[in-house]
């Protein structure tokens, strides 16, 4: 079985559990990057927290976009 298709609009995209735990994601509204190695100081998310493990109410700390507005960085 290969990697899940995490391109926006694919069935797996809406399922955060399909995002690799070390994946970095970028807000498509303001370009802020969530890096699990850093966490999120604004929301008091500790380093090491995967995107899939963020609380359901978590939003972009820079522009307040919901988590579904984040795109997987492939670099």
Q: In degrees rounded to 5, what are phi and psi of residue 16?
A: -60, -25
61: domain CATH number is: 2.20.28.10
DSSP 8-state symbol, 10: S
Query: How many whole angstroms separate alpha carbon 12 and alpha carbon 44?
Result: 27
- Find the angle CA(54)-CA(44)-CA(71) to the nearest 5 degrees: 40
Total structural domains in the chain?
1
- Which tens digits make up the pLDDT trace of 1-30? 455 555 544 444 567 888 999 999 999 999
Is this model's pTM higher than 0.85 or not? Answer: no
Residue 19 and residue 51 in contact, taking contact as beta carbons nearer than 8 Å: yes
Residue 35 belongs to domain spanning: 1-75
> What percent of the chain clears pLDDT 70, i.e. is strictly above it?
81
Q: How many residues does the chain have?
A: 75
């Amino acid at each position: 079985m290969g990697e899940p298709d995490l391109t926006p609009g694919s069935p797996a995209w809406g399922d955060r559990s399909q995002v690799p735990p070390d994946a970095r994601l970028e807000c498509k509204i303001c370009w802020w990057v969530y890096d699990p190695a850093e966490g999120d100081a604004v929301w008091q998310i500790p380093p090491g927290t995967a995107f899939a493990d963020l609380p359901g109410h978590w939003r972009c700390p820079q522009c307040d976009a919901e988590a579904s507005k984040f795109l997987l960085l492939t670099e």
